[in-house]
């Protein structure tokens, strides 16, 4: 995506690590001067904070050089860059430290630092091959801490007494392990054991690790207790093993993530841009979605029909040692049954993962709270967090200005919860879909643990409008005053909060579905947010979902419903792959539902419109996981970049504009083309619709939120289209655009009502 040099930007950077007292602020000052950038830098309780503004290209280079040119003694543990609108700084200042704001601060779990990595691979070091090596700059934090202040007694390391060597390091201010709470060594810290499926110990310590590598090489499934929970691992080149894992996990086609020994292997299988490379090697150590290179020795069923792979590099000493021993890629999927929360305790794992794993590589350091692998992808040259967990949670989102104590319980899928403490919002780690009892228990414990960690007493609890969501019911039974927040308003407000943008904005909220204020299922919404009001100004033309939940899993049903809107009973005459995917009996039954409007709720969902087009183009008729059809449409590639948008209409209806897809469907039916071109024209149409509405409303800032903006092609198209028309698009970065970001928006909505 070409960078428009006319657009200026501000970047807010938060750097944690050994960056204080090493000449970091003067370095930042000199760099900003050299590059002609204005802004400020200061030391805060949680690290160094700085802002600069200038043209986008220069600001990006500046951020890169913060890492590459840093003072020799400085060690950057995490660098968070948030791109914002410029505010017009006129010079660059070193500001006084703000030690006043010493909010107790919990850092996330960070990947093993280079110094600790050197220790575990140095035969002369006392921590040689020790899988629980860490220091002040790396290792577990959020996953092991029960309460504040953060010291060893409050962590799950409290059962281990430091040996004299470790204690000396811990008390020596010049040592890298000074006050490193989980400090440990082979003499005093946690140890590994390998269990068979009955829980008998098969091997211990390094022998357990070697036996694990052997079992994986043999095609076995091994449950491995990591930092924030269990992974199930198999040899990624062994098709039988991968299929066995799929069958046991009841996971048909949803892609598995890979854990690779090193960056060179990542490059062997995938291409990685500069941003993607940085993400792979970052202390957050997330799963990064990368474009695969051609054929490889990887098992085909890792990610069937998918041009991307989720890749993660080792982020803790155990993974480093195991992957070094294997020197081969492994599938590393969360240790759970599909859609259940991550297992954290080895005894619980033995029961819950019975029948899934052949062996269990465990250790005796308890995990206090589950923290999944985070998932990120690059969109428009920046990172976009799709699942916010390890490395990111619980870093707060600063909103400026004090908030009343509000608890937000999020949505139903990809649930997270949030609390507002002062001017900061703490968003929990990913909890997951609240379908099963296990997930609902995890939701309750995360909600309670977040509150007790920050000693937080809410006055208000914010939740979704949907009465059937488990989170809504939890709010209703909390005994605290409840603020119900419309789903798409929460999406837009979350994106505004992350980008530190106030009203007025035009919010484009496109997702699977959420309860609308009229009781129907919304999902293709354009909202006008002003100081006083959030008004629905446009939405996709409504259609029905025959069979409700079943329509979500069968794009062909949505395609049929859309054709029925256009052609009525004549629909049976239409020639389309969608209709050919049904038996005559099925078709009759579904048409009856549509005619009688029984079990066929009305929706304006953009996600479902993606499904309909995936079906009409013949790409996907039935799906086995959420988002599969939309992904197929996103991934259908074209050789040319510029495709004419499908035609559409904007129809004024009472107080709202209908974005009508009928001309597009008619064009698709009458002009035969390839799925790739149809997909390009469909994406272009959605962009054109958004730009069209933006022109009618005329707000400069246009906010993009909702699950559809996980789609790189759509998001980049929107950004380009809106900028081209003179608007300023704002999209997500470190808060997910999907329902994982709702809780943040719910807090902002509840706060608006208090003002
Ligand atoms: Zn370290
Ligand atoms: Zn020790
Ligand atoms: Fe949503």
The domain boundary, picked from 485, 505, 530, lies at: 485
Q: pLDDT-based confidence at 672, cuts 50/70/90?
A: confident
CA distances from 444 to 447, 448, 523 (A): 5, 6, 27
117, 44: one domain:
no
Cα separations in angstroms, 275 against 64, 282, 495: 10, 10, 22
Using CA atoms, how far apart are residues 199 and 190, in angstroms rounded to an integer?
18
Q: How far is the CA of 141 from the centre of ligand 1 (A)?
A: 12
Closest CA to 496 of 732, 728, 720: 732
Domain that holds residue 439: 396-485
Q: Which of 485, 516, 547 is the last residue before a domain boundary?
A: 485
Closest ligand relative to 176 C-alpha: 1
CA of 430 to the centre of ligand 3 (A): 15
Report d(CA 566, CA 585) in Å as an integer: 22
| Distance (Å) from CA 412 to ligand 3 centroid | 9
Judged by average pLDDT, the poorest of 195-199, 337-341, 620-624, 639-643 is 639-643
Residue 629: CATH number of its domain: 3.30.420.40
- Cα(190) to centroid of ligand 2, in Å? 10
Residues 313 and 225 in one domain: yes
* Residue ranges with CB less than 5 Å from ion ligand 3: 511, 514, 739
pLDDT of residue 398: 83
Three-class SS state of 69: coil
17 pLDDT band, cuts 50/70/90, is low
Task: Check pLDDT > 90 for residue 124.
Answer: yes
Task: Examine the pLDDT at 100 and tell me if it is beyond 50.
Answer: no
At 461, which CATH number? Answer: 3.30.420.360
Cβ–Cβ < 8 Å for 505, 701: yes
What integer pLDDT is reported at residue 641 of this predicted model? Answer: 62
CA of 347 to the centre of ligand 2 (A): 26
CA distances from 15 to 70, 140, 386, 395, 396 (A): 12, 18, 22, 12, 13
pLDDT above 80 (res 399) = yes
Q: Are 169 and 65 found together in one domain? A: no
User: For 431-454, what is the mean pLDDT?
Assistant: 93
Tell me, in angstroms, the distance from the centre of ligand 2 to residue 326's CA: 27
Task: Give the pLDDT band (50/70/90) at residue 80.
Answer: confident
Whichever domain contains 288, its CATH number is 3.90.870.30
pLDDT at 455: 86
Q: Is the per-residue pLDDT at 713 higher than 50? A: yes
How many domains, the chain?
4
Q: Locate 573 and state its tokens.
A: 């005459």
Domain membership flag for residue 101: no
Q: How far is the CA of 157 from the centre of ligand 2 (A)?
A: 12
Determine the Cα–Cα distance for residues 220 and 239; give it in Å rounded to an integer: 12
pLDDT at 605 over 70: yes
Which of 55, 71, 94 is the last residue before a domain boundary? 94
Q: How far apart are CA 619 and CA 587, in angstroms?
A: 20
Which has more pLDDT, 73 or 471? 471
**668-693 average pLDDT score:** 95
Residue 506 lies in a domain: no
Residue 532 within any structural domain of the chain: no
Asked whether residue 77 is domain-assigned, the answer is: yes
Residue 333 corresponds to which tokens in the numbers above? 């999927």
The alpha carbons of the chain give a radius of gyration, in whole angstroms, of 26
The residue-averaged pLDDT of 405-423 equals 95
Inform me whether the pLDDT recorded for 446 exceeds 90: yes
Cα angle, residue 56 at apex, residues 51 and 61 outer, rounded to 5°: 75
Per-residue pLDDT band at 97 (split at 50, 70, 90):
low
| Dihedral sign computed on CA atoms, order 20, 25, 31, 37 | positive
Nearest ligand atom owner, CA of 114: 1
Sign of CA dihedral 75, 80, 85, 87: negative
Q: DSSP of 703-746, one letter per residue?
A: EEESGGGG-HHHHHHHHHHHHHTT-EEE--SSS-SSGGGHHHHH
Q: What's the rounded Cα separation, in Å, for the pair 14 and 336?
A: 34
Residues 302 and 412 in one domain: no
Residues 49 and 14 in one domain: yes
Per-residue model confidence (pLDDT) at position 5: 44
Residue 269 lies in a domain: yes
How much distance in Å is there from the Cα of 231 to the middle of ligand 1? 23
Structural domain includes residue 738 = no
Residue 98 has pLDDT above 60, yes or no: no
Quote the CA–CA distance of 730 and 491 in Å, as a whole number: 13
Residue 583 pLDDT exceeds 80: yes
Least confident segment among 4-8, 27-31, 470-474: 4-8
Average of per-residue pLDDT across 321-339 = 92
% the chain with pLDDT above 70: 96
Do 386 and 403 share a structural domain?
no
Q: What is the mean pLDDT of residues 120-146?
A: 95
**pLDDT at residue 666 tops 50:** yes
pLDDT value at position 73? 63
Identify the CATH number of the domain in which residue 77 sits: 3.30.70.100
CA of 738 to the centre of ligand 3 (A): 6
413, 361: one domain: no
Residue 133 CA to ligand 2 center (angstroms) comes to 10
- What pLDDT, on the 0 to 100 scale, is given for residue 21? 59
- Per-residue pLDDT of 619-657, as tens digits, reads 999 999 989 999 999 998 766 666 899 999 999 998 999
The rounded Å distance from CA 543 to ligand 3 centre is 18
Backbone phi, psi, residue 217, to 5°: -60, -30
Q: What pLDDT sits at residue 22?
A: 65
Q: Tens digit of pLDDT for each residue in 55-79? A: 999 999 999 999 888 876 677 777 8
Least confident of 220-234, 390-404, 573-587, 603-617: 390-404
Neighbours of 69 (CB within 10 A): 11
Per-residue pLDDT averaged across 295-310, rounded? 94
Residue 503 is assigned to a structural domain of this protein: no
Q: Closest-lying ligand to the alpha carbon of 188?
A: 2
Residues 358 and 323 in one domain: yes
Say if residues 223 and 356 touch (Cβ distance below 8 Å): yes
Pairing of strands 460-464, 406-408: parallel
| SS3 labels along 518-544 | CCCEEEEEEEEECCCCEEEEEEECCEE
- Confirm if 32 and 92 have CB atoms less than 8 A apart: yes
Q: Which ligand is nearest to the CA of 411?
A: 3
pLDDT at 46: 67
- Rounded to whole angstroms, how far apart are CA atoms 233 and 373? 14
Least distant ligand from the CA of 743: 3
Confidence label for 18 from pLDDT (cuts 50, 70 and 90) = low
- What are 60's two structure tokens? 């990006």
Res 101: pLDDT: 39
**What's the confidence (pLDDT) of residue 407?**
98
Q: 21-35, 79-93, 395-409, 501-515 — which is least confidently predicted?
A: 21-35
Give the residue, 79 or 129, on which the prediction is more confident: 129
Sign of the torsion angle spanned by Cα atoms 738, 384, 265, 191: negative
268 in the same domain as 226: yes
In the structure, ligand 2 is a single-atom ion and the residues with CB under 5 Å from it are 163, 166, 185, 187-188
φ, ψ of residue 138 in degrees (nearest 5): -155, 170
Q: What CA–CA distance (Å, rounded) separates 320 from 335?
A: 19
Residue among 285, 295, 289 nearest 311 (CA): 289
DSSP one-letter string for 426-472: EEPPP-B-S-SHHHHHHHHHHHHHHHHHTT---SEEEEES-TT-HHH
- Catalogue the long-range contacts made by 589-594 (C-beta closer than 8 Å, 24 or more residues apart): 590/546, 590/547, 590/557, 590/560, 591/560, 591/564, 593/546, 593/547, 594/544, 594/546, 594/560, 594/561, 594/564
Cα end-to-end distance, the chain, whole Å = 40
- Mean pLDDT (the chain, rounded): 93
What's the pLDDT at 376? 98
Q: Which residue has the higher pLDDT, 434 or 100?
A: 434
Looking at residue 250, what DSSP letter applies? T
Interval between CA 229 and ligand 1 midpoint (Å): 20
Task: Identify whether residues 113 and 251 lie together within a single domain.
Answer: yes
The burial class, CB within 10 Å (0-12 / 13-18 / 19+), for 673 is middle
Looking at per-residue pLDDT, the higher value among 415 and 80 belongs to: 415
Query: Span 148-171, mean pLDDT?
Result: 92
* Residue 570 per-residue DSSP state: G
Nearest ligand by distance to the CA of 514:
3
Instruction: Report how far ligand 1's centroid is from the alpha carbon of 153 (Å).
Output: 20
d(CA 522, CA 603): 6
User: Ligand 3 center to residue 478 CA distance, Å?
Assistant: 23
- 743: in domain: no
The structure's pTM equals 0.90
The Å distance, Cα 481 to ligand 3 centre, comes to 24
pLDDT at res. 150:
76
Question: Could you tell me if 309 and 376 lie in one domain?
Answer: yes
Same domain, 127 and 28: no
């Amino acid at each position: 995506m070409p960078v428009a040099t006319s657009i200026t930007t501000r970047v807010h950077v938060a750097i944690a690590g050994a960056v204080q007292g090493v000449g970091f602020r003067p370095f930042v000052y000199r760099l900003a001067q050299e590059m002609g950038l204005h802004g400020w830098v200061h030391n805060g309780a949680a690290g160094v904070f700085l802002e600069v503004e200038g043209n986008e290209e220069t600001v990006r280079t500046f951020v890169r050089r913060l890492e590459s040119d840093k003072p020799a003694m400085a060690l950057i543990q995490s660098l968070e860059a948030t791109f914002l609108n410029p505010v017009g700084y006129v010079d660059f200042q070193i500001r006084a430290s703000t030690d006043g704001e010493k909010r107790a601060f919990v850092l996330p779990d960070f990947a093993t630092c280079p110094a600790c990595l050197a220790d575990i691979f140095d035969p002369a070091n006392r921590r040689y091959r020790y899988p629980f090596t860490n220091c002040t700059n790396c290792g577990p934090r959020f996953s092991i801490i029960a309460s504040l202040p953060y010291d060893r007694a409050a962590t799950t390391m409290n059962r281990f007494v430091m040996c004299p060597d470790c204690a000396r390091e811990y008390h020596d201010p010049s040592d890298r392990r000074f006050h490193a709470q989980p400090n440990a060594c082979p003499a005093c810290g946690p140890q590994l054991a390998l269990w068979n499926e009955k829980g008998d110990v098969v091997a211990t310590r390094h022998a357990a690790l070697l036996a694990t590598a052997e079992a994986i090489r043999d095609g076995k499934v091994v449950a491995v207790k990591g930092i924030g929970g269990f992974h199930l691992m198999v040899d990624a080149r062994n098709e039988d093993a991968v299929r066995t894992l799929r069958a046991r996990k009841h996971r048909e086609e949803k892609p598995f993530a890979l854990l690779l020994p090193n960056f060179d292997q990542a490059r062997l299988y995938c291409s990685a841009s500069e941003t993607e490379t940085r993400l792979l090697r970052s202390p957050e150590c997330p799963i990064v979605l990368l474009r695969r290179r051609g054929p490889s020795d990887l098992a085909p069923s890792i990610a069937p029909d998918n041009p991307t792979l989720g890749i993660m590099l080792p982020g803790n000493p155990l993974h480093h040692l195991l992957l070094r021993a294997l020197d081969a890629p492994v599938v590393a999927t969360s240790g759970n049954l599909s859609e259940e929360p991550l297992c954290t305790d080895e005894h619980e794992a033995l029961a819950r993962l019975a029948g899934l794993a052949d062996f269990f590589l465990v250790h005796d350091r308890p995990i206090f709270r589950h923290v999944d692998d985070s998932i990120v992808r690059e969109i428009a040259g920046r990172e976009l967090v799709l699942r916010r967990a390890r490395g990111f949670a619980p870093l707060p989102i600063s909103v400026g200005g004090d908030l009343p104590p509000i608890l937000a319980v999020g949505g139903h899928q990809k649930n997270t919860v949030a609390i507002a403490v002062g001017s900061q919002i703490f968003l929990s780690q990913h909890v997951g879909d609240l379908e099963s009892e296990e997930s609902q228990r995890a939701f309750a414990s995360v909600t309670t643990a977040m509150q007790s960690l920050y000693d937080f007493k809410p006055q208000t609890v914010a939740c979704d409008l949907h009465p059937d969501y488990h989170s809504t019911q939890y709010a209703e039974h909390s005994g605290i005053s409840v603020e119900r927040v419309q789903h798409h308003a929460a999406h837009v407000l979350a994106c505004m909060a992350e980008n530190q943008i106030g009203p007025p904005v035009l919010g484009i909220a496109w997702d699977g579905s959420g309860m609308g204020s009229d009781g129907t299922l919304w999902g293709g919404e354009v909202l006008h947010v002003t100081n006083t009001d959030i008004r629905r100004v446009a939405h996709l033309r409504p259609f029905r979902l025959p069979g409700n939940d079943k329509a979500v899993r069968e794009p062909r049903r949505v395609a049929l419903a859309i054709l029925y809107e256009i052609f009525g009973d004549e629909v049976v005459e239409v020639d389309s792959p969608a209709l050919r995917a049904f038996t005559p009996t099925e078709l009759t039954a579904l048409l009856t539902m549509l005619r009688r409007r029984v079990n066929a709720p009305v929706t304006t969902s953009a996600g479902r419109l993606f499904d309909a087009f995936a079906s009409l183009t013949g790409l996907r008729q039935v799906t086995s996981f959420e988002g599969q059809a939309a992904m197929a449409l996103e991934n259908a590639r074209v050789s040319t970049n510029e495709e004419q948008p499908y035609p559409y209409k904007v129809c004024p209806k009472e107080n709202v504009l209908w974005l009508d897809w009928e001309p597009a469907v008619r064009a698709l039916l009458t002009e035969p083309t390839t799925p790739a071109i149809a997909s390009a024209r469909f994406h272009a149409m959605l962009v054109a619709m958004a730009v069209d509405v933006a022109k009618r409303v005329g707000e400069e800032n246009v906010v993009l939120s909702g699950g559809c903006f996980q789609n790189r092609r759509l998001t980049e198209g929107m950004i380009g289209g809106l900028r081209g028309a003179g608007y300023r698009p704002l999209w997500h970065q470190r808060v997910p655009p999907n329902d994982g970001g709702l809780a943040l928006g719910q807090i902002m909505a509840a706060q608006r009502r208090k003002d």
